[in-house]
Amino acid sequence: MRARYWRIALGGLGAGAILLGFVWIGRGTEWFVWPADSFMAGETMWAWRGLALIAMGGAMVWGARRF
């Protein structure tokens, strides 16, 4: 029973990480800039970090579904 809660938590955190990764990619590549004076806007470093976060979130979701 306890493992079920861990799977739900891990899947939820992974899905959240994937969504946040897409936001970081969007901010780093200037697909959407809000607020306009953000330190993340146009910084490609954030796009790469977003890609890494999506990969980690995907691994978390995969792990939650696998085990």
Cβ-in-10-Å burial (0-12, 13-18, 19+) of 35 comes to exposed
Q: How far apart are CA 1 and CA 24, in angstroms?
A: 35
Q: Is 33 a residue whose pLDDT tops 80?
A: no
Report pTM: 0.88
Mean pLDDT, to the nearest integer, of 41-59?
Answer: 96
Q: How far apart are CA 11 and CA 63, in angstroms?
A: 8
Mean pLDDT, to the nearest integer, of 16-42?
Answer: 90
